[in-house]
């Protein structure tokens, strides 16, 4: 009586088991948000809806520049890239901070203007779980009643080929990188006409930084009070 091919049966069993395990492990990876396109720039409704999913957000609102009026602060809770394509301005209407950043955010070829917050961080706040990369973008005419007219940061911040202008706060007219986690790099960028408005103890017309920070060596700054580092 012929003996069964036990070896071949074992190979088939392990092959099937490997295929099952591979299928299971491939399926447990995090879902990646698809690229999303804003086609309605008449208000911030569609923009707000797409932000919730993270991913890359671009704009196709027709020819010419477009300004989207922001009606509430936008929270970033998933990795997000917002690419304005050089045609989009987000306007906080002197009433709202634009972004509260709790994940990785890249702002590219976009203008942020007229952000406002009663406290620190007029246009953007970066939490200790967030990061911001500002690329070829502008933040202007934004205001905080405390510090960081444009940006308050507790997390890493990189500013490249960008402009921060005409921002105001009691201290740190443009930037307030706060505490050791707020490691900040500024490359090929301009900080101009920012103002620390506290006439008694106003520090840092452009940047208010802690003693652990290093002043940017590649940024041009014209301020109405000294940079304090």
Residue 12 placed within a domain = no
Q: What is the pLDDT along the chain (229 residues), one digit of tens a residue?
A: 455 444 434 334 333 433 333 333 333 444 556 689 999 999 999 999 999 989 999 999 999 899 999 999 999 999 999 999 999 999 999 999 999 999 999 999 999 999 999 999 999 999 999 999 999 999 999 999 999 999 999 999 999 999 999 999 999 999 999 988 999 999 999 999 999 998 777 778 899 876 444 455 444 444 443 334 3
Residue 24 placed within a domain = no
Contact 62, 80 (CB under 8 A): no
Full DSSP string of 47-80: HHHHHTT-EEEEE---SS-EEEEP-SPEEE-S-E
> Under 8 Å CB-to-CB from 116, ≥6 apart: which residues?
92, 94, 95, 96, 97, 122, 142, 143, 144
Looking at residue 71, what is its pLDDT?
Answer: 98
Residue 5 placed within a domain = no
User: Domain span at residue 196?
Assistant: 34-223
Residue 7 placed within a domain = no
Residue 210 placed within a domain = yes
Looking at residue 192, what is its pLDDT?
Answer: 96
Q: Are strands 151-153 and 190-196 parallel, antiparallel or unpaired?
A: unpaired
Looking at residue 34, what is its pLDDT?
Answer: 67
In whole angstroms, give the CA distance from residue 50 to residue 141: 26
Q: What is the pTM of this model?
A: 0.80
Structurally, the chain folds into a number of domains equal to 1
Residue 79 placed within a domain = yes
Q: Residue 66: which of 99, 93, 90, 82 has the closest Cα? A: 90
Q: Residue 106: which of 123, 87, 89, 130 has the closest Cα? A: 130
Residue 27 placed within a domain = no
Looking at residue 10, what is its pLDDT?
Answer: 36
Residue 69 placed within a domain = yes
Residue corresponding to tokens 């208010």: 208
Contact 40, 61 (CB under 8 A): yes
């Amino acid at each position: 009586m012929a003996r069964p091919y036990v070896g071949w049966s074992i190979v088939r069993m392990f092959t099937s088991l490997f295929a099952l395990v591979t299928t299971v492990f491939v399926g447990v990876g995090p879902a990646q948000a698809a690229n999303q396109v804003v086609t309605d720039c008449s208000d911030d409704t569609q923009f707000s809806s797409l932000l919730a999913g993270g991913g890359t957000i671009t704009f196709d609102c027709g020819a010419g520049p477009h300004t989207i009026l922001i009606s509430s602060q936008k929270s970033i809770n998933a990795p997000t890239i917002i690419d304005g394509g050089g045609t989009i301005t987000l306007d906080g209407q002197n009433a709202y901070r634009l972004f509260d950043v709790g994940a990785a955010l890249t702002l590219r070829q976009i203008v942020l203007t007229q952000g406002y917050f009663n406290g620190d961080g007029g246009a953007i706040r970066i939490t200790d779980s967030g990061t911001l990369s500002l690329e070829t973008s502008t933040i202007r005419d934004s205001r905080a009643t405390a510090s960081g007219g444009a940006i308050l940061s507790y997390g890493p911040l990189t500013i490249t080929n960008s402009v921060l202008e005409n921002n105001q706060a009691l201290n740190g007219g443009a930037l307030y990188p706060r505490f050791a986690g707020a490691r900040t790099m500024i490359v090929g960028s301009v900080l101009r006409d920012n103002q620390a408005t506290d006439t008694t103890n106003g520090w840092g017309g452009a940047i208010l930084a802690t003693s652990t920070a290093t002043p940017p060596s590649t940024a041009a700054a014209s301020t109405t009070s000294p940079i304090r580092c």
